[in-house]
Structure 1
Protein backbone atom coordinates (compact mmCIF):
# COMPACT_ATOMS: atom_id res chain seq x y z
CA UNK A 1 0.00 0.00 0.00
CA UNK A 2 1.43 3.37 -1.01
CA UNK A 3 2.31 5.98 1.58
CA UNK A 4 -0.10 8.89 1.27
CA UNK A 5 0.17 12.63 1.84
CA UNK A 6 -0.24 13.68 5.47
CA UNK A 7 0.71 10.26 6.87
CA UNK A 8 3.43 10.10 9.51
CA UNK A 9 6.42 8.02 8.42
CA UNK A 10 9.18 6.70 10.67
CA UNK A 11 12.33 5.34 9.08
CA UNK A 12 15.94 4.38 9.61
CA UNK A 13 18.48 5.31 6.97
CA UNK A 14 22.08 5.48 5.93
CA UNK A 15 23.16 7.77 3.12
CA UNK A 16 26.31 7.34 1.07
CA UNK A 17 28.18 9.52 -1.37
CA UNK A 18 29.87 6.76 -3.35
CA UNK A 19 31.49 4.52 -0.74
CA UNK A 20 31.56 7.23 1.93
CA UNK A 21 28.91 7.11 4.67
CA UNK A 22 27.81 10.74 5.14
CA UNK A 23 24.83 10.41 7.49
CA UNK A 24 22.52 7.91 9.10
CA UNK A 25 20.45 7.03 12.13
CA UNK A 26 20.58 3.21 12.19
CA UNK A 27 20.49 2.09 15.81
CA UNK A 28 19.41 5.55 16.95
CA UNK A 29 16.23 7.57 16.94
CA UNK A 30 14.25 7.15 13.71
CA UNK A 31 13.60 9.99 11.27
CA UNK A 32 9.92 10.90 11.68
CA UNK A 33 8.20 13.22 9.22
CA UNK A 34 4.87 14.01 7.60
CA UNK A 35 4.78 12.64 4.07
CA UNK A 36 4.03 15.09 1.27
CA UNK A 37 5.01 18.23 3.19
CA UNK A 38 8.56 18.68 1.85
CA UNK A 39 10.13 17.79 5.19
CA UNK A 40 12.72 15.52 3.57
CA UNK A 41 14.50 15.78 0.23
CA UNK A 42 12.11 15.18 -2.67
CA UNK A 43 14.02 12.29 -4.25
CA UNK A 44 13.96 10.27 -1.05
CA UNK A 45 10.29 10.98 -0.42
CA UNK A 46 9.45 9.89 -3.97
CA UNK A 47 11.66 6.81 -3.63
CA UNK A 48 9.88 5.45 -0.55
CA UNK A 49 6.27 6.20 -1.52
CA UNK A 50 5.52 2.60 -2.51
CA UNK A 51 7.32 0.97 0.43
CA UNK A 52 5.53 -0.77 3.30
CA UNK A 53 6.19 -1.07 7.03
CA UNK A 54 9.21 -3.32 7.62
CA UNK A 55 10.41 -3.01 4.04
CA UNK A 56 14.07 -2.28 3.36
CA UNK A 57 15.40 -0.82 0.16
CA UNK A 58 17.99 1.31 -1.57
CA UNK A 59 16.98 4.60 -3.12
CA UNK A 60 19.33 6.43 -5.49
CA UNK A 61 18.63 10.15 -5.30
CA UNK A 62 20.08 12.28 -8.08
CA UNK A 63 21.65 15.62 -7.06
CA UNK A 64 18.78 17.65 -8.54
CA UNK A 65 16.31 15.81 -6.27
CA UNK A 66 18.58 15.93 -3.21
CA UNK A 67 20.46 19.12 -2.36
CA UNK A 68 20.52 20.56 -5.86
CA UNK A 69 23.24 21.03 -8.40
CA UNK A 70 26.44 22.73 -7.29
CA UNK A 71 26.33 26.47 -8.06
CA UNK A 72 29.85 27.84 -8.53
CA UNK A 73 28.50 31.38 -8.13
CA UNK A 74 27.08 30.73 -4.66
CA UNK A 75 30.20 32.06 -2.97
CA UNK A 76 30.79 35.33 -1.20
CA UNK A 77 33.82 37.21 0.06
CA UNK A 78 33.21 38.49 3.58
CA UNK A 79 35.41 40.70 5.79
CA UNK A 80 37.41 38.51 8.17
CA UNK A 81 36.39 40.74 11.10
CA UNK A 82 32.85 39.29 10.87
CA UNK A 83 34.31 36.04 12.24
CA UNK A 84 35.98 37.57 15.31
CA UNK A 85 36.40 35.00 18.06
CA UNK A 86 36.05 32.03 15.69
CA UNK A 87 39.12 29.95 14.92
CA UNK A 88 38.49 29.52 11.19
CA UNK A 89 39.60 26.47 9.22
CA UNK A 90 39.15 25.76 5.53
CA UNK A 91 36.30 23.27 5.13
CA UNK A 92 34.56 24.08 8.39
CA UNK A 93 30.80 24.56 8.42
CA UNK A 94 29.33 27.69 9.95
CA UNK A 95 25.73 28.67 10.59
CA UNK A 96 24.37 32.17 10.35
CA UNK A 97 21.20 34.11 9.79
CA UNK A 98 20.01 34.77 6.25
CA UNK A 99 18.25 37.88 4.99
CA UNK A 100 14.89 36.18 5.55
CA UNK A 101 15.75 35.41 9.18
CA UNK A 102 16.23 31.69 8.55
CA UNK A 103 19.34 29.68 9.33
CA UNK A 104 21.98 29.61 6.61
CA UNK A 105 24.72 26.98 6.43
CA UNK A 106 28.02 27.96 4.79
CA UNK A 107 31.39 26.31 4.31
CA UNK A 108 34.68 28.20 4.64
CA UNK A 109 36.50 27.92 1.28
CA UNK A 110 39.45 30.28 1.66
CA UNK A 111 40.92 32.35 4.46
CA UNK A 112 42.78 35.47 3.38
CA UNK A 113 44.53 38.18 5.37
CA UNK A 114 41.49 40.47 5.44
CA UNK A 115 38.65 38.37 4.04
CA UNK A 116 37.07 34.93 4.01
CA UNK A 117 35.39 33.24 1.05
CA UNK A 118 32.33 31.28 2.09
CA UNK A 119 30.33 28.82 0.00
CA UNK A 120 26.52 28.81 0.35
CA UNK A 121 26.10 25.44 -1.41
CA UNK A 122 25.00 22.57 0.79
CA UNK A 123 28.01 20.27 1.37
CA UNK A 124 26.17 17.53 -0.58
CA UNK A 125 25.11 19.77 -3.49
CA UNK A 126 25.95 18.27 -6.85
CA UNK A 127 26.17 14.74 -5.46
CA UNK A 128 24.05 11.71 -6.25
CA UNK A 129 23.25 9.96 -2.97
CA UNK A 130 22.40 6.35 -2.15
CA UNK A 131 19.98 5.94 0.74
CA UNK A 132 19.52 2.55 2.41
CA UNK A 133 16.21 2.80 4.24
CA UNK A 134 13.96 0.71 6.45
CA UNK A 135 10.36 1.84 6.93
CA UNK A 136 9.65 1.43 10.65
CA UNK A 137 6.10 2.73 10.73
CA UNK A 138 3.45 4.53 8.70
CA UNK A 139 0.35 5.92 10.38
CA UNK A 140 -2.36 8.47 9.81
CA UNK A 141 -1.72 11.89 11.31
CA UNK A 142 -3.81 13.06 14.25
CA UNK A 143 -5.92 16.17 13.78
CA UNK A 144 -3.27 18.29 15.55
CA UNK A 145 -0.44 16.80 13.47
CA UNK A 146 -2.38 17.44 10.26
CA UNK A 147 -2.97 21.05 11.32
CA UNK A 148 0.60 21.82 12.45
CA UNK A 149 2.53 19.49 10.14
CA UNK A 150 4.58 18.39 13.16
CA UNK A 151 4.55 14.69 14.12
CA UNK A 152 3.98 14.11 17.84
CA UNK A 153 7.38 12.39 17.99
CA UNK A 154 9.06 15.64 16.90
CA UNK A 155 7.16 18.01 19.16
CA UNK A 156 9.54 20.00 21.36
CA UNK A 157 9.17 19.50 25.07
CA UNK A 158 8.48 22.81 26.73
CA UNK A 159 11.37 23.53 29.08
CA UNK A 160 9.28 25.90 31.15
CA UNK A 161 5.54 25.39 31.29
CA UNK A 162 4.41 22.37 33.22
CA UNK A 163 7.76 22.03 34.97
CA UNK A 164 7.24 24.48 37.81
CA UNK A 165 8.78 27.30 35.82
CA UNK A 166 6.58 29.86 37.53
CA UNK A 167 5.19 33.15 36.37
CA UNK A 168 8.44 34.22 34.64
CA UNK A 169 7.70 31.78 31.86
CA UNK A 170 4.47 33.38 30.72
CA UNK A 171 2.64 30.16 31.47
CA UNK A 172 0.05 31.44 33.90
Structure 2
Protein backbone atom coordinates (compact mmCIF):
# COMPACT_ATOMS: atom_id res chain seq x y z
CA UNK A 1 0.00 0.00 0.00
CA UNK A 2 1.34 3.41 -0.96
CA UNK A 3 1.28 6.46 1.32
CA UNK A 4 -1.65 8.73 0.41
CA UNK A 5 -1.97 12.53 0.75
CA UNK A 6 -4.47 12.15 3.58
CA UNK A 7 -5.30 9.69 6.32
CA UNK A 8 -2.44 7.24 5.91
CA UNK A 9 -0.88 6.16 9.20
CA UNK A 10 2.84 6.09 8.50
CA UNK A 11 5.77 4.86 10.58
CA UNK A 12 9.25 5.94 9.48
CA UNK A 13 12.83 5.66 10.57
CA UNK A 14 14.85 8.72 9.65
CA UNK A 15 18.12 10.56 9.93
CA UNK A 16 18.38 14.24 9.01
CA UNK A 17 21.41 16.36 8.23
CA UNK A 18 21.78 19.94 7.15
CA UNK A 19 22.27 19.74 3.36
CA UNK A 20 25.95 19.60 2.50
CA UNK A 21 26.95 18.58 6.02
CA UNK A 22 27.78 15.21 7.53
CA UNK A 23 26.54 16.21 11.00
CA UNK A 24 23.31 14.46 12.03
CA UNK A 25 20.88 17.03 13.49
CA UNK A 26 18.15 14.51 14.38
CA UNK A 27 17.49 10.79 14.08
CA UNK A 28 15.27 8.07 15.48
CA UNK A 29 17.41 5.16 14.24
CA UNK A 30 17.41 2.42 16.86
CA UNK A 31 14.43 4.01 18.64
CA UNK A 32 10.66 4.06 18.20
CA UNK A 33 9.43 4.83 14.67
CA UNK A 34 8.05 8.30 14.04
CA UNK A 35 4.32 7.70 13.54
CA UNK A 36 1.98 10.27 12.05
CA UNK A 37 -1.16 10.62 9.96
CA UNK A 38 -0.77 12.28 6.57
CA UNK A 39 -2.69 15.46 5.88
CA UNK A 40 -2.72 16.56 9.54
CA UNK A 41 0.39 18.79 9.54
CA UNK A 42 2.28 16.56 11.99
CA UNK A 43 5.60 16.75 10.11
CA UNK A 44 7.23 19.36 7.91
CA UNK A 45 5.39 19.70 4.59
CA UNK A 46 8.36 19.04 2.32
CA UNK A 47 9.03 15.67 3.92
CA UNK A 48 5.39 14.64 4.01
CA UNK A 49 4.86 15.54 0.34
CA UNK A 50 7.95 13.57 -0.69
CA UNK A 51 6.75 10.48 1.21
CA UNK A 52 3.46 10.32 -0.72
CA UNK A 53 3.55 7.31 -3.02
CA UNK A 54 6.26 5.46 -1.07
CA UNK A 55 5.46 2.00 0.27
CA UNK A 56 6.37 -0.11 3.29
CA UNK A 57 10.01 -1.19 3.12
CA UNK A 58 10.97 1.58 0.69
CA UNK A 59 13.91 3.84 1.53
CA UNK A 60 15.11 7.08 0.04
CA UNK A 61 17.07 10.28 0.46
CA UNK A 62 14.83 13.34 0.43
CA UNK A 63 16.06 16.92 0.06
CA UNK A 64 13.73 19.42 1.72
CA UNK A 65 14.29 23.09 0.96
CA UNK A 66 14.14 25.53 3.90
CA UNK A 67 10.83 27.01 2.73
CA UNK A 68 9.20 23.55 2.95
CA UNK A 69 10.91 22.66 6.25
CA UNK A 70 11.10 25.23 9.06
CA UNK A 71 10.82 28.27 6.80
CA UNK A 72 13.22 31.05 6.04
CA UNK A 73 14.84 33.07 8.83
CA UNK A 74 12.50 35.86 9.89
CA UNK A 75 14.52 38.90 11.07
CA UNK A 76 11.43 40.14 12.96
CA UNK A 77 11.57 37.01 15.14
CA UNK A 78 14.61 38.41 16.95
CA UNK A 79 14.00 40.49 20.07
CA UNK A 80 15.83 42.28 22.83
CA UNK A 81 14.34 41.70 26.28
CA UNK A 82 15.23 43.09 29.72
CA UNK A 83 17.51 40.75 31.66
CA UNK A 84 15.04 40.82 34.60
CA UNK A 85 12.81 38.46 32.58
CA UNK A 86 15.54 35.82 32.90
CA UNK A 87 16.05 36.01 36.66
CA UNK A 88 17.34 32.70 38.03
CA UNK A 89 18.50 31.47 34.59
CA UNK A 90 22.21 30.79 34.10
CA UNK A 91 22.39 32.39 30.65
CA UNK A 92 24.74 31.07 27.99
CA UNK A 93 24.98 32.13 24.35
CA UNK A 94 23.36 29.54 22.09
CA UNK A 95 21.22 28.02 24.84
CA UNK A 96 17.63 27.08 24.12
CA UNK A 97 14.88 28.22 26.46
CA UNK A 98 11.21 27.32 26.51
CA UNK A 99 8.38 29.57 27.59
CA UNK A 100 4.70 30.13 27.05
CA UNK A 101 3.46 32.27 24.16
CA UNK A 102 0.49 34.61 24.16
CA UNK A 103 -1.77 31.81 22.88
CA UNK A 104 -0.63 29.40 25.62
CA UNK A 105 1.53 27.26 23.34
CA UNK A 106 5.12 26.36 24.17
CA UNK A 107 7.60 28.76 22.58
CA UNK A 108 11.26 27.95 21.93
CA UNK A 109 13.88 30.70 21.84
CA UNK A 110 17.63 30.73 21.40
CA UNK A 111 19.76 33.16 23.41
CA UNK A 112 21.99 34.86 20.83
CA UNK A 113 23.77 37.30 23.19
CA UNK A 114 23.34 39.13 26.49
CA UNK A 115 24.88 41.72 28.77
CA UNK A 116 24.05 42.97 32.26
CA UNK A 117 20.95 44.83 31.02
CA UNK A 118 19.52 42.98 28.01
CA UNK A 119 19.14 39.57 26.42
CA UNK A 120 18.90 39.08 22.65
CA UNK A 121 16.71 36.11 21.73
CA UNK A 122 15.76 34.49 18.44
CA UNK A 123 12.31 32.93 18.07
CA UNK A 124 13.21 31.32 14.70
CA UNK A 125 13.42 27.53 14.75
CA UNK A 126 17.12 26.50 14.96
CA UNK A 127 16.77 24.87 11.50
CA UNK A 128 15.03 27.87 9.89
CA UNK A 129 16.74 28.93 6.69
CA UNK A 130 18.42 25.54 6.26
CA UNK A 131 17.92 22.95 3.54
CA UNK A 132 17.67 19.48 5.05
CA UNK A 133 18.61 16.03 3.76
CA UNK A 134 16.52 13.17 5.15
CA UNK A 135 17.42 9.50 4.84
CA UNK A 136 14.11 7.73 5.39
CA UNK A 137 12.82 4.16 5.54
CA UNK A 138 9.06 3.53 5.54
CA UNK A 139 8.51 0.93 8.27
CA UNK A 140 4.73 0.80 8.11
CA UNK A 141 1.80 2.28 6.22
CA UNK A 142 -1.90 1.65 6.60
CA UNK A 143 -5.21 3.46 6.30
CA UNK A 144 -6.23 5.49 9.33
CA UNK A 145 -9.23 4.24 11.26
CA UNK A 146 -12.27 6.53 11.31
CA UNK A 147 -11.33 7.59 14.86
CA UNK A 148 -7.72 8.31 13.89
CA UNK A 149 -8.83 10.34 10.86
CA UNK A 150 -11.26 12.34 13.01
CA UNK A 151 -8.90 12.99 15.95
CA UNK A 152 -5.60 13.17 14.08
CA UNK A 153 -4.08 10.88 16.71
CA UNK A 154 -2.46 7.54 15.92
CA UNK A 155 -3.83 4.63 17.97
CA UNK A 156 -6.55 4.77 20.51
CA UNK A 157 -6.66 1.08 21.39
CA UNK A 158 -6.51 0.48 25.12
CA UNK A 159 -4.69 -2.49 26.59
CA UNK A 160 -5.99 -4.40 29.63
CA UNK A 161 -3.61 -2.44 31.87
CA UNK A 162 -5.11 0.88 30.68
CA UNK A 163 -2.11 1.78 28.55
CA UNK A 164 -2.35 2.68 24.89
CA UNK A 165 -0.04 -0.17 23.85
CA UNK A 166 2.47 2.19 22.22
CA UNK A 167 5.18 1.60 24.80
CA UNK A 168 4.87 5.02 26.44
Question: Normalized against structure 1, the TM-score is what?
Answer: 0.86
Q: Does 1:29 align with 2:60?
A: no
Q: What do residues 10-29 of structure 1 show as CA deviations (whole Å, max 9, x unaligned)?
A: 00000001221100001101
SS at 1:29 equivalent: coil
SS at 1:73 equivalent: helix
Q: Is the 8 A contact 2:2 2:141 kept in 1?
A: no
Name the CA distance, whole Å, in 2 between partners of 1:46 and 1:23. 19
Match of 1:13 in 2: 14
Q: RMSD in angstroms over aligned alpha carbons?
A: 1.7
Q: Is the 8 A contact 2:11 2:34 kept in 1?
A: yes
Aligned residue pair count? 157
Q: Does 1:53 align with 2:60?
A: no
Long gaps (5+) in structure 1: 164-172
Long gaps (5+) in structure 2: 164-168
Match of 2:3 in 1: 3
Name the CA distance, whole Å, in 1 between partners of 2:28 and 2:13. 6
In the TM superposition, residue 123 of structure 1 has moved relative to its aligned partner by: 0.2
Moved runs in structure 1, 4+ residues, more than 4 A?
Answer: none
Name the CA distance, whole Å, in 2 between partners of 1:7 and 1:72. 36
Q: What do residues 51-71 of structure 1 show as CA deviations (whole Å, max 9, x unaligned)?
A: 110001000000000000011
Q: Is the 8 A contact 2:14 2:27 kept in 1?
A: yes
Name the CA distance, whole Å, in 1 between partners of 2:76 and 2:45. 24
In the TM superposition, residue 73 of structure 1 has moved relative to its aligned partner by: 2.4
Q: 2:103 aligns with which of 96, 100, 103?
A: 100
In the TM superposition, residue 143 of structure 1 has moved relative to its aligned partner by: 2.0
Name the CA distance, whole Å, in 1 between partners of 2:33 and 2:87. 37
Q: What do residues 40-90 of structure 1 show as CA deviations (whole Å, max 9, x unaligned)?
A: 000000111121100010000000000000112211111111111111100
